[in-house]
Structure 1
């Protein structure tokens, strides 16, 4: 996995942009931190792809619960939902209650690809 990372100070939203190769596919990842949510875009196809919304449910339960829904795109891809769930769990464990909007435009929906994306986002997190 080859990673290059950059931060561009003139963009008005704190963000990180990186390029990596996963299973032979060039993958572009952008992690942005807005006041009210996090936006993560990961693409191997040059477009947004499936867009998911993930958030921690507010409640009285000791164990947190999470809500993940597909806003736009493939609704029959459980691995995409699992990817969003892993990221929102990590975000909420890091003391942030902001929700996540996740865009996945992938050629390959394998477990290996999604794990590599989750790892890259966590290594370059803005929370």
Structure 2
């Protein structure tokens, strides 16, 4: 099932859609604040692990990205990799805003996390 809705009214514009990712119904909400992006992906109906990702500004030619776990599972490197992929894609599309990512997932497999990155990036290209 693919349900999508968009709201761009005050105070925050957001998109809400649902995708089947590796057999699990996954609700995704993308909110665009003036100074941050918030992405919530949940298969369990709650927020889950919350990560913060940002591009480091510096004198280096190659950008550096910093990802940290705010709340939740700190021993899941694939969650950190998912946040890093999203902030890298957002940075390549011209955004310098940091990302707050919430992942409430039943399945932490590579395929699930790739599906989430793909769904978010496909939706952001619209």
Q: Distance in 2 between matches of 1:123 and 1:32?
A: 15
Q: Distance in 1 between matches of 2:29 and 2:51?
A: 15
Structure 1: gaps (5+ residues):
none
Q: Distance in 2 between matches of 1:95 and 1:11?
A: 23
Runs of 4 or more off by more than 6 Å in structure 1? none
Q: Distance in 1 between matches of 2:65 and 2:98?
A: 10
How far does the alpha carbon of each residue in 1:78-119 deviate from its partner, in whole angstroms, 9 at most, with x for none? 000000000000111111110000000000000100011001
Query: What TM-score do the two structures reach when normalised by structure 1?
Result: 0.93
Aligned length: 126
> For residue 37 of structure 1, what is the aligned residue in structure 2?
36
CA RMSD of aligned residues (A): 1.6
> For residue 95 of structure 1, what is the aligned residue in structure 2?
94
> For residue 75 of structure 1, what is the aligned residue in structure 2?
74
Structure 2: gaps (5+ residues):
none
- Structure 1 residue 4: deviation in Å? 2.6
> For residue 55 of structure 2, what is the aligned residue in structure 1?
56
